[in-house]
């Protein structure tokens, strides 16, 4: 199988490495904006060849992974209009990606099986790619009515070959779930660091920040452009999550006058988290 | 030097183990509420003897560490009124601890040198204690006007013997700094987990939560009683931090309509965090 990877970053590079390791692909062509990054991808054996654009890369490919920032998806899909290859993606949001694909692929939309590998990291680029990134991680497919069972099965097999656990759900549901457990926490972490960094005594504040702050804010070291696109495309769900969270903060604020009630909330949160950790 | 530890948990137990390892203490007496925990502290060699109450434990001690939940401090300090030992503590807030000490120790307040080892963890109890917990971590002393330089130096030496980096600042300043970089993040993490756990589809939500969520919420597995006390005692600062953070969230919310502005905020946050990580 020949693979084309559009955007050879953490996700795209790891997909290529994982499929090579699983001997599920024989040849990988990469496309990307950063020359240094592509050079590194070639040196690391992530890609075997580099193509000047997505159309050229997809020419002989059986499978194309689109793993660029989501804002570029529409123009990438346009370049893939004439290809015959099956297409999947690594976008963190699905409704907007599907809308872009429908617009650009037209009647060829059945060739696109949307996917979201839930395996981000605060690192990015080909340098961070790893054959094991998806091992044991979830990949959510949000198949379209136009996808043939065969196309879905083939894309599913590719992600499964990376070691991922595959789920399927509608794109709507995907974006709502991810807004709650991924997009909102990222916004909160970015917001907290920005707040601390903007204070007059920010240097002092950071110097007394410890392990709790470090872990809480780890995701604030994520890729700004990628998160800009996620926020823009999932705006309605983000606004809902921000509203729900503000209501929860009002509840916590009120409980500052009710120590027993506050302790109960803390204990319930701890129990829920510990249960989750044990089961995962 | 003989040490008495009131509350042989993560902090108290680690202080005893670290000072024993540094050969700075020869004998440790422990006091606590949990029989099982004290038994384990004895088995692990954290304490050499167990006393029925703080007054008995402090009778022959040179140094007493009060490391119980902060709500118990006043009654513990009352038991220490007649002792001659120098006293320090492990409380995460300082204004309330000092107020409790002044009330209970009266004219003996000069014997108490307040301290906050910034070395929490989501684990608790003697089982989690470690001789290395304070290694390279910050301990903030908030000395009182009544402390002699000798008393401050002696307490500083004890914490330094645990491998900690010592700072001094007024209690007011300490509580403001910690509200921003520790107390607020804890509240946010507890709130987020509580919000997710309270949803109808909480099981689904948790099942798609990944590493970002896990790290962001690690501190939501912290001790509910301890955090109840911290919130109660630092309420004014927490309210200020909650207000500032709400304003920041309003800014982020508005930026959902301004992708370039949002990306700028994300980039500034990432840069500030990465700079902090590099320097720490």
> Is A200 an 8 Å CB contact of chain B?
no
B165 touches A at CB < 8 Å? no
pLDDT > 90? residue B163: yes
Residue pair A103/A50 in contact by the 8 Å Cβ criterion: no
Q: Is A116 helix (H, G, I), strand (E, B) or coil?
A: strand
Q: Over range A224-252, report the average pLDDT.
A: 95
Nearest chain A residue to B210, by CA: A118
Kindly tell me if the per-residue pLDDT of B155 is higher than 70: yes
Residue A179 at interface with chain B, using a CB cutoff of 8 Å: no
Determine the average pLDDT of the residues in B96-106.
97
| Tally of CB atoms within 10 A around B222 | 22
Average pLDDT over residues A22-42: 96
Average pLDDT over residues A237-241: 98
Shortest Cα distance, chain B CAs vs residue A92, angstroms = 12
For position B245, what pLDDT does the model report? 98
pLDDT of residue B122: 64
Query: Cβ of B272 and A182 within 8 Å?
Result: no
Chain A residues lying within 8 Å of B242, measured CB to CB: 249, 252-253
Q: Residue B216 is nearest to which of A137, A216, A257, comparing CB atoms? A: A216
Query: CB-based contact (8 Å) between B280 and chain A?
Result: yes
Do residue A196 and residue B180 have CB atoms under 8 angstroms apart?
yes
Question: What pLDDT, on the 0 to 100 scale, is given for residue A280?
Answer: 85
What CA–CA distance (Å, rounded) separates A150 from A156?
A: 10
SS3 call for A30: strand
Asked if A195 reaches chain B (Cβ–Cβ under 8 Å), the answer is yes
Q: Supply A249's token pair.
A: 């903060």
- Whether the CB-CB separation of B252 and B265 falls below 8 Å is answered with yes
- Burial (CB < 10 A; 0-12, 13-18, 19+), residue B141, is buried
The per-residue pLDDT for A122 is: 64
Strand-strand pairing, B27-31 and B2-6? parallel
pLDDT at residue number B275 = 97
Q: Which of A219, A252, A270 sits opposite B224 (nearest CB)?
A: A270
State yes or no: pLDDT of B115 exceeds 90. Answer: yes
Quick check: B256 and A140 CB within 8 A? no
Whether the per-residue pLDDT at A121 is higher than 70: the answer is: no
pLDDT category, B121, cuts 50, 70, 90? low
Nearest to A276 by CA among B151, B209, B180: B209
pLDDT at B123: 77
Q: Please, which residues have CB within 8 angstroms of residue A13's CB and are 6 or more apart in sequence?
A: A5, A41, A44, A46, A125, A126, A128, A129
Reply yes or no on whether the pLDDT at B114 is more than 90: yes
Verify whether the Cβ–Cβ distance A220 to B252 is below 8 Å: no
Location of structure tokens 């804010």: A217
Tell which of B140, B212, B225, B241 to mutate to test the A interface (max A CBs under 10 Å): B212
- State whether residue A222 sits within 8 Å of chain B by CB: yes
Q: Is the pLDDT of residue B124 over 90?
A: no
Q: Do the chains contact at B185 and A192, CB–CB below 8 Å?
A: yes
* Angstroms from A2 CA to nearest CA on chain B: 30
In a mutational test of the A interface, the residue from B216, B244, B255, B262 whose CB has the highest number of chain A CBs within 10 Å is B216
8 Å CB contact between A1 and A25: yes
Instruction: Report pLDDT digits (tens) over A39-75.
Output: 999 999 999 999 999 999 999 999 999 999 888 999 9
What pTM does this model have?
0.91
A244 contact residues in B (CB cutoff 8 A): 195
pLDDT in tens, B34-79: 999 999 999 999 999 999 999 999 999 999 999 998 889 999 999 9
Token pair, residue A158, equals 């590719």
Does residue B171 surpass a pLDDT of 90? yes
What pLDDT score was predicted for residue B267?
A: 98
Predicted confidence at residue A69, as pLDDT, reads 84
- Cα B190 vs. chain centroid, distance in angstroms? 17
Beta-ladder partners of B66: B6, B89
Minimal CA separation from B210 to chain A, in Å: 7
Give the angle A247-A250-A254 at the CA atoms, nearest 5°: 145
What number is the average pLDDT over the span B215-219?
A: 95
Residue A28 confidence (pLDDT) above 90: yes
Angle value at C-alpha A19, between A14 and A24, nearest 5 degrees: 170
Per residue, what are the HEC states of A201-242? Answer: CHHHHHHCCCHHHHHHCHHHHCCHHHHHHHHHHCHHHHHHHH
Rounded to 5°, the CA angle A76-A78-A79 comes to 65
Chain A CB within 8 Å of residue B268 CB: yes
B136, burial (CB in 10 Å: exposed 0-12, middle 13-18, buried 19+) = exposed
Distances (CA, A) of A175 to A143, A148, B126, B209: 14, 23, 43, 13
Place B33 in a pLDDT band, splitting at 50, 70 and 90.
Answer: confident
Cβ(B92)–Cβ(B116) under 8 Å? Answer: yes
Where b means 16+ CB within 10 Å and e means fewer, B112-135 reads: bbbbbbbbbbbebbbeebbbebbe
Angle between helix axes B259-279 and A184-197 (nearest 10 degrees) is 70
- Smallest CA-to-CA distance from B176 within B135, B237, B85, B257 is with B237
- Nearest CB among A196, A265, A272 relative to B181 is that of A196
């Amino acid at each position: 199988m020949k693979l084309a990877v559009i955007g050879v970053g953490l996700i795209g590079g790891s997909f290529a490495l994982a499929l090579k390791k699983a001997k599920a692909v024989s040849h990988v062509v990469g496309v990307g904006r950063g020359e240094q990054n592509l050079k590194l991808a070639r040196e690391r054996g992530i890609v075997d060849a580099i193509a000047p654009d997505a159309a050229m890369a997809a020419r002989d490919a059986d499978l194309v992974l689109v793993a660029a920032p989501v804002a570029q998806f529409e123009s990438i899909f346009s370049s893939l209009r004439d290809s015959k290859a099956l297409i999947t993606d690594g976008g963190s949001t699905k409704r907007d990606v599907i809308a872009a694909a429908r617009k650009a692929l037209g009647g060829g939309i059945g060739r696109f099986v949307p996917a979201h590998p839930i395996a981000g990291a605060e690192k990015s680029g080909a340098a961070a790619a790893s054959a094991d990134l998806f091992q044991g991680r979830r990949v959510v497919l949000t198949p379209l009515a136009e996808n043939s069972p065969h196309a879905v099965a083939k894309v599913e097999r590719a992600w499964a070959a990376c070691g991922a656990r595959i789920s399927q759900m509608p794109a709507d549901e995907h974006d709502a779930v991810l807004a709650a457990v991924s997009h909102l926490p990222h916004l909160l972490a970015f917001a907290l660091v920005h707040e601390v960094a903007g204070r007059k005594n920010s240097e002092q504040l950071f110097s007394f920040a410890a392990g709790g702050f470090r872990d809480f804010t780890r995701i604030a070291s994520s890729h700004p452009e990628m998160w800009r696109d996620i926020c823009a495309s999932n705006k309605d769900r983000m606004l809902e999550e921000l509203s729900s969270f503000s209501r929860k903060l009002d509840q916590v604020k009120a409980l500052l006058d009710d120590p027993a009630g506050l302790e109960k909330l803390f204990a319930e949160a701890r129990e829920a988290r510990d249960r989750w950790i044990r089961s995962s």
